[in-house]
Amino acid sequence: MISFGPTEEQDLVVEAVRSFATEVLRPAARAADETETLPEDALQQAWELGFVATQIPEAYGGAGEARSPVTSALVLEALAYGDAALALAVTHPAAFAFAVLDQGSEEQKKRYLPLFTGERYHAASLALAEPTPAFDVRALRTRAEPKGDAFVLSGAKSSVPLADRASHFLVVAQGADGNGSLDAFVVARDAAGLAIEREKNLGLRGLPTGRLTLERVEVSAADRLGGERGADLRRLLDSSRAASASLMVGLSCAVMDYALPYAKERRAFGEFIAQKQAIAFMLSDMRVETDAMRWLAWKAASQIEQGQVATRAAQFAHAYAAEHAMKIADDGLQVLGGHGFIREHPVELWYRGARTLSVLEGAATL
């Protein structure tokens, strides 16, 4: 029979991860947002769950478990149910590691993958987005100029997660062959010509992001992802968009699960506000749209897992989730009324997180 639900094993994984997210990540979320710092203990506990290391082959020091984008989508949703900013902090190193695993040269795999299989949390980052009014991955301004056996990178990147601590950045640039394709290059944190500046954001403030300025940063040919053959970055982009959709599903579930009991317990003018038609419709729409977002995210993850071209599905999932996660968060504020703006309730934090997630490119991966 055809099944459209998780397997029994995936259900167990989701149960464990959601329990961790609600017991560890969510209690740490408010302080992380207020202080704009990551809770190191929670980060280390999350690292020990092995989201990255378990999926790296044994030859490079990992556990060698089979990669499953569908399972990753479920894990990202469960983590974001606790807190989206900390979910990204926990999982973003995979954006670098999995790109190297999927498309790196053998030399790159041997050099970089063992960094992510140790007992301590290790940060590396994907630098994709750029500080332009309407970012378009098809029109990057960051350029890679061939120079003998090396490349010279010039441009700027924004919203780079973990920029405050990443040992390496995977910088996406206009391809060196000049035909409009994309390339990616490994840039060490201490590379000459690289400047890093901390950003201040509306939401996801617990996740440190930064702006990279690359002024003729020279990297060797061996630092080009995939080496001489280069890399097809379509899978990386598709995985990132599907992953972001899953994060927004998790955040939307958190809003819904907070707003519903509040509406059932809050009385106004002699009746529970959940009995008011306007509120009831909001709560109903939350459920419908969250399920729709989840199905689109699962479809994209499934196509990626099967090796299909998932660009269309991933873009649909991301665009739909970006629109409706914001609507669900706004409706959550409306259900709580004035309490929605008070920081003793987490809905305003989720509202700001939803807005930030909707415009964040390259922050997650499957």
Q: Give the C-alpha separation, 337 to 363, whole Å.
A: 31
Q: Over the stretch 287-305, which tens digit does the pLDDT of each residue have?
A: 999 999 999 999 999 999 9
Q: Which fold has domain 234-359?
A: Butyryl-CoA Dehydrogenase, subunit A; domain 3 (1.20.140)
| pLDDT tens-digit map of 234-269 | 999 999 999 999 999 999 999 999 999 999 998 888
**What kind of fold does domain 8-116 have according to CATH?**
Butyryl-Coa Dehydrogenase, subunit A; domain 1 (1.10.540)
For residue 269, the model assigns a pLDDT of 83
Write down the pLDDT at residue 2: 61
Query: Other C-beta atoms within 10 Å of 100: how many?
Result: 26
DSSP state of 66: P
Q: What is the pLDDT of residue 261?
A: 96
Instruction: Say which CATH superfamily domain 125-229 falls into.
Output: Butyryl-CoA Dehydrogenase, subunit A, domain 2 (2.40.110.10)
Residues marked active site are found at 361
Summarize pLDDT for 200-227 with one digit per residue, the tens. 999 999 999 999 999 999 999 999 999 9
- pTM here? 0.95
Residue 175 has pLDDT above 80, yes or no: no
Which sequence spans correspond to the domains of the chain? Answer: 8-116, 125-229, 234-359
Strand partners, 168: 188
Q: What is the rounded distance in angstroms from the CA atom of residue 38 to the CA atom of residue 63?
A: 27
Rounded CA separation 24/82 (Å): 8
Under a CB-based contact definition with an 8 Å cutoff, are residues 88 and 24 in contact? no
Q: Is the pLDDT of residue 4 over 80?
A: no
- Answer yes or no: is pLDDT of 25 > 70: yes
Nearest to 195 by CA among 176, 174, 210, 208: 210
